Structure 1
Amino acid sequence: MLEIDENLQQTEPDSRAGSEIKPFLLRHPARTDLASLVALANNPALTKNLCSNWLPSSDIQADSWFLNYTEKSDPTEFPFIITDMKGTMIGVICLLLQENRKQAEISVMIMREHWQHGYATRAIQAVADFAFSSPNINQPSLEALEARCRVSCGRSRRIVEKCGFQYSGTGMAHSQHYKGMIPIDRYRLDRGVWYALRNWSGMGQSNPWAFGPNSTPRGYSLKGAA
């Protein structure tokens, strides 16, 4: 039977009342990140709740993963490193296009020492804007984003719900940590809901989550995403 960490179930690792909202950066992976990515992929405290196995788990895999990522002319994976303003890695987030290229999945992992600062929520919001807005991946236009959460991980569900994702059912996913299938909850963010949320919140066309060369509002920026 899969264990449930009761300690983690009682806490919200992504934000807390009165916590400082810290700025961060999103950038493409570099070869110098590979050792850190392998370490993340082998951290059981983080990977036991991961539903998408996109991180390289060994040095050999990391080399081929990086070459495959950099040499693809038509990528289906858009991985980003999340760092603080000094360049220290905070976590990782990836946008995974599905075969029909009309839907994509978001997968995020934040290092435990950086929980409770809202990084996961804001990184998901930023990458969702990239997914729905970027001309590089909207051929055809992206219709929806999906997030999958392990059923025993309440904190993941709270994070995606804060980002506007709506529950869409249950299922199973392969876990690299457990080397088998785990039960999951599925969440979905449709383009229309994303658009409405942006307008209801007063974002409008100013797009404070935008990935532009000068866009650093709301505490993040992206280097070379689009």
Structure 2
Amino acid sequence: MLQDITTPTLREARPCVLETERLTLRPPVFADVTAIARLADDYRIAENTRRLPHPYSAVDAARFVRALAENSGETAFLITHLDAPIGIVGINRPAPGRAELGYWLGVDHWGRGFGTEAARAAIDYFFEESEDDGLLAHARVSNPASRNILEKCGFQWTGVELHRFEVLGSSAPVDAFRLSRGVWASLKAWANAGRRR
């Protein structure tokens, strides 16, 4: 469910809050820096995300929050469960037509379906608030849990690419995925068709 959205494009949208059955997604603020740093400071997270350093400090988290406030090309949400931060999900736009979904969860929150739930909310936000025809995503080939999230959200595998990972200091193979607006719309229609009115 979207709250506080009044503009037609993702790039121009005011900060908003997304709500799912179990989660609330909201823009991270400086008051969240300590919690973000505590969650992200785990090598198991960094090795599966391209941009996270390890160790990950409060300075890194503050830099991330500041960059979000200054960068209209990226939208990120702090994922909270029962008002406690558990991870980050967002859409990065490194170039026109290249919007990409990204996410990570604190290790204690793995395996509970939170990643899929948060990803679906961010995907719905993206397609409802932008006019883009597709959304990209990537998962390290050694990370089947992330690949599973993407497949459950309707992403289709497009091949294998090499991407640089900051913590590795080198490139690693990733599975590349794409979700088209048409597939997303079909999945939403099928899901709604099964609901009782």
Q: Which TM-score band applies after superposition, normalised by the shorter structure?
A: 0.7 to 0.9
Corresponding residue for 1:33?
Answer: 32
Higher-RCO chain (CA-CA 8 Å, sequence separation at least 6): 1
CA distance in 1, matches of 2:31, 2:144: 33
The runs of 4+ residues in structure 1 deviating greater than 6 Å are none
Q: Please say if residues 164 and 197 of structure 1, whose CA atoms lie closer than 8 Å, have aligned partners that are also in contact.
A: yes
RMSD: 2.4
Corresponding residue for 1:116?
Answer: 111
* 1:93 maps to amino acid: V
The Cα of 1:76 is off from its aligned counterpart by 0.8
Corresponding residue for 2:44?
Answer: 45
CA distance in 2, matches of 1:105, 1:27: 18
> Match for 2:164 among 144, 160, 174?
174
Q: Please say if residues 116 and 152 of structure 2, whose CA atoms lie closer than 8 Å, have aligned partners that are also in contact.
A: yes
CA distance in 1, matches of 2:125, 2:193: 15
CA distance in 2, matches of 1:191, 1:98: 19
Secondary structure of residue in 2 paired with 1:145 = strand
CA distance in 1, matches of 2:134, 2:53: 23
* 1:46 maps to amino acid: I
TM-score by length of 1: 0.70
Is it true that 1:84 corresponds to 2:81 in the alignment?
A: yes
Is it true that 1:104 corresponds to 2:103 in the alignment?
A: no
Q: Please say if residues 40 and 106 of structure 2, whose CA atoms lie closer than 8 Å, have aligned partners that are also in contact.
A: no
Corresponding residue for 1:224?
Answer: none
CA distance in 1, matches of 2:68, 2:40: 17
Corresponding residue for 1:193?
Answer: 183
Q: Classify 1:90/1:63 alpha carbon distance in 2 versus 1 (closer, same or farther; 3 Å).
A: closer
* 2:174 maps to amino acid: I
Deviates more, 1:31-40 or 1:117-126: 31-40
Corresponding residue for 1:222?
Answer: none
TM-score by length of 2: 0.79
Alignment of 1:1-226 (within 5 A): 23-51=22-50, 53=51, 57-72=56-71, 75-85=72-82, 87-100=83-96, 102-134=97-129, 138=130, 141-202=131-192
Q: Please say if residues 38 and 55 of structure 1, whose CA atoms lie closer than 8 Å, have aligned partners that are also in contact.
A: no
In structure 1, runs of 5+ residues without a counterpart are 1-20, 207-226
Deviates more, 1:153-162 or 1:39-48: 39-48
Identity across the alignment (%): 30
In structure 2, runs of 5+ residues without a counterpart are 1-19
CA distance in 1, matches of 2:61, 2:120: 27
